[in-house]
Amino acid sequence: MSAAVSDDGILLPAASRPFLVEIDGHYVWSTTPDRDGERRGRGVLVPWPGVLRPYLSGRGRVRVTDATGTEVLYDAEVGLGSGEGRLAVVDRAGHRLSVDKVGHLTRSFAATGEEVREEILAGTRRAIDDLREHAGVAAYLNYGALLGAVREGRMLAHDSDTDLCYLSDHTSPADIIAESYRITRAMRERGWNLLRMSGGDIKLLLPLSDGRQCHIDVFVAFHVGDTFYQLGNRSGSLPRSAIEPFSTIEVHGHQFPAPRDPERMLAFLYGPRWRTPDPSFRYADPPAGVRRLDGWLRGFRTEMGLWTGFLSGPDVREVPAGPSPFARWVGHHLGRPGPDSPGVVDLGSGTGSDALWFARRGHRTLAVDHSRRSLTMVRGRARRRGVDVEVDQLILGELRSTLLLGTRLARDPHHLCARHLVGCLDDAALDQLWRLCRMALRPGGGRLFLELQAAHDGPDGAPGTPVSPEGLVRRVDPGAVRAAIEDAGGVVEELVVEPGEDMLGRPDPAVCRIRAHWPAPALTPEEDR
């Protein structure tokens, strides 16, 4: 059976092996039909990944092959979407993008020139040296970087970053986290810009001459009892003797430390068929190990990448550029600020339109979001417009992040504004939101202003109007939100449900707005004297 291409996806033969998809000669995606699709007659329909769909409007040559490229299932010019213009999966600078192993659109090594490849390898070597000499940990090549070096003698064409691990001597999660933060401080002192992904996982950002930043992931590995754990989510049986003392491996003329038994490490990571190329590979991690690593070392941030993808993709252009009706409603209640007025915190600031509007009205404004893409966007817009907005990261899924901001706001009064944030949070993150409100609003007398898409039924009893962006926001019961605020010690001053707008500025029949405050705790007789 050959393949067929349509707006819905690609119809492939039933198979448990990977197939590669190219558009106009450039690799964009790989898939395994039996895993990723659903039966349609004698074949399997694999839907286009969500991150690709915004780019699939126009005409282009689509080629579908097996992993080696020798078996061609489809090779023809097709029209998708409107059929107008050329299909091009590219970033704003015109660089080719592809879907990586975790479902993100990125620039792969296949689209990287030799000079830039040398920069990546030299930067990875420098990171290993700085980790050893200044952070006190011995890092070794791992994951896709190790796989490419051992199996193919080069960088994997479909990979997009380099991966390092270090084997900690600690067995307590608290000690492992403290060690990771010490490493962070040491690497920053060496001039590295970095992102913290969890209590045991950081990304070093390596600027390249082609304008992008390559990520060098640095993961902790450790043993608890007889179980070996390694971030991402790996866990199982692998003795220390398989890792130390290190061996040495060469990649494009550069020497790197590697596990003592690299083949045993690769079998642990990718299974017994690791020698067979599979660009569509997905990890099958033990659920118990994932739960332990989540609980020990990370908050729950499963949607962070999805939001970054939305904010980096073409759909973000649908977000209105001006202030939302919610911001104007908040502004009506706050009035013009005086010299001693509380500031305004825009929680979940997104593109920053509301935060910029508050700042232009004279409010001291802090924009916070969990997505680094959002923070970069707000800083850029504020700089271009000459508006003074402070920007910081808040991850409501992590207690540490919530406590840091709550402690600061307890000493610096601010109002808290959150438009459509409640519908983006799970129960654990909502608990942290109410904790933040208690910490920030009790001492200074600020107000909480919320807008959310209210749960409702249509006229025929069917579920209410869908919300957008699809899969990232949900409708919420206003009564449940009121109860949660009151359980957390707050007082709801106003709650109204009426027609309004969703996050993309589209009409919504049921939008809830809430205004609340947290009264200061009563003084004891001793404190009142």
Q: Is the pLDDT of residue 62 over 70?
A: yes
Q: Is the pLDDT of residue 269 over 80?
A: yes
- Distance CA(103)–CA(393), nearest Å, equals 23
Homologous superfamily assigned to 304-528: Vaccinia Virus protein VP39 (3.40.50.150)
Contact 139, 129 (CB under 8 A): no
Q: What percentage of the chain reaches a pLDDT higher than 90?
A: 45
- Distance CA(23)–CA(84), nearest Å, equals 15
pLDDT digits (tens, 9 = 90+) for 85-100: 888 888 776 777 788 7
Distance of CA 256 to CAs 114, 120, 161, 246, Å?
19, 13, 15, 10
pLDDT digits (tens, 9 = 90+) for 325-384: 999 999 999 998 988 899 999 999 999 999 999 999 999 999 999 888 899 899 999 999
Highest mean pLDDT among 23-32, 191-200, 298-307, 408-417: 408-417
CATH architecture of 109-297: 2-Layer Sandwich (3.30)
- Distance CA(26)–CA(20), nearest Å, equals 10
**Predicted pLDDT at 112:** 65
Which residue ranges does the chain devote to CATH 3.30.460.10? 109-297
**Predicted pLDDT at 391:** 94
What is the chain's Cα-based Rg? 25
- Distance CA(499)–CA(428), nearest Å, equals 29
User: Which range (112-126, 274-288, 402-416, 470-484) has the least confidence?
Assistant: 274-288
Distance of CA 489 to CAs 134, 370, 442, Å?
47, 25, 9
Closest CA to 91 of 209, 193, 211: 211
Which residue ranges does the chain devote to CATH 3.40.50.150? 304-528
> Per-residue pLDDT averaged across 68-82, rounded?
86
527 pLDDT band, cuts 50/70/90, is: very low
3-state helix, strand, coil split of the chain in percent (to 5) is 35, 30, 40
Q: Which residue type does 23 have?
A: I
**Predicted pLDDT at 140:** 94
Q: Is the pLDDT of residue 274 over 50?
A: yes
- Distance CA(476)–CA(238), nearest Å, equals 45
Position with higher pLDDT, 472 vs 479 = 479
